[in-house]
Amino acid sequence: MLPEPTLTHYLILSAVLFSIGTAGVFLRRNLITILLSVEVMLNAVNLTFIAVDKFRGTFDGQIIVFFVITVAAAEAAVGLAIVIALFRHKETLNPDAFTSLKW
Amino acid sequence: MLYLIPLFPFLGFLVNVTLGRRLPKKVSGGVATAAMAFAFGYSVLAVYNLLHSAPVDGVRSMESTVFTWISSGRLDIPLSFRLDPLSSIMILVVTGIGTLIHLYSTAYMLEETGSEYARYFSYLNLFAAFMLVLVLGANFPVMFIGWEGVGLCSYLLIGFWFTKPSAAEAGKKAFVVNRIGDFGFILGMLALFATFGTLDFQGVAKAVAALPPGTGEALITGITLLLFLGATGKSAQLPLYVWLPDAMEGPTPVSALIHAATMVTAGVYMIGRNAVLFSHAPFTLDVVAVVGVATALMAGTIGLVQNDIKRVLAYSTVSQLGLMFLAMGVGAFGAGIFHLYTHAFFKALLFLGSGAVIHALHGEQDIRKMGGLMKALPITFQTFFIGTLAIAGIPGLAGFFSKDEILWKTFSSGHTILWAVGVVTAFLTATYMFRLTFLTFYGERRAAPEPHATDHAAHPPSPAASARQADHGHGHDHGHGKHLHDAPSAMAIALIVLAFGSIVAGYIGIPAVMWKDGNQIEHFLDPSFEAHGVAAAAAEPVAEAGEDHASTEWALMGVSTAVAVGGWLVAWFYFRRKPSAADAMARSFAGIHKLLLNKYYVDEIYDRLIVQPIKAISSGVLWRAVDAGLIDGTVNAVGLVVRGWSAVLRRLQTGSMRAYAMSLFLGVVTILGYFLWR
């Protein structure tokens, strides 16, 4: 029987998820994977909010989480649309191929 | 309700400026003329009420404040109008003569296209509106609105045919020269406020009258000299008269309006309005008198030899204005305004008459090519002749009374030399005016009417050649080149009314020695030249009409008459009896003749001494050094610095998304680290 998880456990899990997401953003060479990593980061943050709410008995964090989920949905839609457009343009999903936005 | 007087022409302006292009000519001209007629009717009513009001502090005046215009600390300027004897004379002249000129213009400008016609009348209305604001304003800033407004309108009207370079130049010249005078006027106004803390005419007059004798004279002298500089600009006196002769580029009725009813009288009026102030600066008064008489003499001599019918009249205006300033300078404010008033009649008449001649001759302005028009243009001739008699000072007509009054006041105040010069000027006036009349109307026609184009090419050196081209560009579309038509009825009515005025206008100022109730106008005007409610005892009329004075006055009147008739005879001898003598005279005094013909080379001298140096400074220093060097240099330097830094900083923008994400991440880590471990 595992011990009852405390706030610290949740925060550690959240930190781990966030780190995985961050690492994914920096290390992967595929735009779609990067987007997925961003989602992981967002959900890590969500988890923090929910955990803190649960242990303090408040609801503020949950409200923020609703907003985050909504924005994340929108972001995913826009992000994927852009990815498709980029793919059609260059036939690749490697972010290093898209460096023309500079002086 | 005094504001209605300038409002009428202003409404006329609004109608013509907005709808004018779509209105038929009859309507746009009719609206403009009706607006002026209404203003005249209302002015008559207002003056009638003024005459029947009870005097307060020895003066009748009406005031109407429309609203508070500027209120800031000590500065309190209402937009208010004041009607007193002085301004009532002025509004009657402006609206009365103005109405006739509008009426005349409806016929004179008929050859213009519909939109040009409306544009012309909108300017004309605006001109009159501003002039009425000028003369009705109860304080300096309100007067200044009108002051600047007439300057603007003169620019617009002189340059009415702006496609012609000389007209555009003339308009510009009038505007720039006026600005120089306005500069003095503004400075004088500011100094006045700094000194007395008020800009109301009556307030200033009271403050000045309350000064103990002998104090503040230097300051007041400075202020009045600055104001007088403004007056020389508006009223075409030395050294700023140069714009007026060039103003002949405008349509002839405009010249009549500028010369008779509006604009040039502003300077004389302004001095009369501030009579109390000027009286406290004897030095300024001397300057005014000397400048006036010098201008009168100079313009009179130039007028003797000019060959353009309108230019002769222009110089005669400058000369007559000089006489008005002479009157102002010797303290005879009433006489000066009286001459202003009579002059308005005959100068308007003469200009409109010359316009009728030019109209009949399809734009010909050179009197050497005229002659013998007496029979062809009977109405024009008769009215023009009356105008000539009046301006020459033939007894019984308007000009005699006012001019004689000025000369008498000059003499009786002890300025004998100025009087002598004034008499010479009067002689010159009679001579050049009769010369003009003889050359235009008597004898035989010296040149057949020609079509414009060939006429223009045939006489390139004539100064009038370029002017005539546009002042009536309608000659070619008249099929009947040979037929001379007298003034159309609208023009004839204006001429006849003005001729009548030129005869009778003087009788309200008939000298006291002739009739014991004489000098009505001066008694009427005198309260305007005093500070009301202050030391009424000091303003007690001095009983000057002693017996010996009377005989002197009669004698001087004889001199004036002799001089006028003498000028007539001289002109008759040289230009009727023996025209060859005039040429012989011109040849034997070739140097002087050339000097006069070239107007003392004043334009050339100004060009060399002022215009060219300013141009050189502008292009050498202001343009090349200051503008191109300093200002552009600063701007370019700023640009270069920014560009240099950008060349370095733009290396950061790689376009690689992951690099941006990394810098963002590192930034967050740094900031968080700072807060965690500080």
pLDDT for B544 beyond 60:
no
**B643 touches A at CB < 8 Å:** no
| Cα–Cα–Cα angle for B138, B140, B143, rounded to 5 degrees | 70
Q: For chain A, how far is it from start to end, CA to CA, in angstroms? A: 60
Model pLDDT, residue B640: 95
- Percent residues over pLDDT 90 in chain B: 23
pLDDT for B5 beyond 60:
yes
Model pLDDT, residue B477: 40
Q: What SS3 string covers chain A?
A: CCCCCCHHHHHHHHHHHHHHHHHHHHHCCCHHHHHHHHHHHHHHHHHHHHHHHHHHCCCHHHHHHHHHHHHHHHHHHHHHHHHHHHHHHHCCCCHHHCCCCCC
**Residues of chain A positioned with their CB less than 8 A from the CB of B658:** 26, 95-96
Work out the mean pLDDT of chain B and round it to a whole number: 84
> In order of start, what are the domains of chain A with their CATH numbers?
29-95 (1.10.287.3510)
Residues B376-387 pLDDT 10s: 888 888 999 999
Q: B237-241, B340-344, B460-464: lowest mean pLDDT where?
A: B460-464
Model pLDDT, residue A103: 64
Model pLDDT, residue B478: 42
Report the gap between the CA of A3 and the closest CA in chain B (Å): 30
pLDDT for B453 beyond 60:
no
Residues B356-398 pLDDT 10s: 888 888 878 888 888 778 888 888 889 999 999 999 888 888 8
pLDDT for B337 beyond 70:
yes
pLDDT for B678 beyond 90:
no
**B661 touches A at CB < 8 Å:** yes
pLDDT band at B581 (very low <50, low <70, confident <90, very high): confident
pLDDT band at B456 (very low <50, low <70, confident <90, very high): very low
**B648 touches A at CB < 8 Å:** no
pLDDT band at B518 (very low <50, low <70, confident <90, very high): low
Measured CA to CA in angstroms, residue A9 lies from A5, A6, A46, B149, B471 at distances of 6, 5, 15, 86, 101
pLDDT for B643 beyond 90:
yes
Tokens in use for B303? 């007028």
- Tell me the sheet residues that pair with B221: none
**Residues of chain B positioned with their CB less than 8 A from the CB of A30:** none
Q: Which of B642, B649, B656, B666 to mutate to test the interface with A (most CBs of A within 10 A)?
A: B656
CB-closest option in A25, A26, A101 to B655: A101
Model pLDDT, residue B461: 38
CB-closest option in A22, A98, A103 to B657: A98
Verify whether the Cβ–Cβ distance A103 to B656 is below 8 Å.
no
**B647 touches A at CB < 8 Å:** no
**Residues of chain B positioned with their CB less than 8 A from the CB of A96:** 656, 658
Model pLDDT, residue A71: 94
**Residues of chain A positioned with their CB less than 8 A from the CB of B650:** 102-103
pLDDT for B661 beyond 80:
yes
The residue among B232, B201, B79 whose CA lies nearest residue B145 is B79
The mean pLDDT value for B280-309 works out to: 89
**Residues of chain A positioned with their CB less than 8 A from the CB of B652:** none
pLDDT band at A16 (very low <50, low <70, confident <90, very high): very high
- Global pTM? 0.77
**B375 touches A at CB < 8 Å:** no
Verify whether the Cβ–Cβ distance A95 to B657 is below 8 Å.
yes
For residues B597 and B611, give the distance between their C-alpha atoms in angstroms, rounded to a whole number: 22
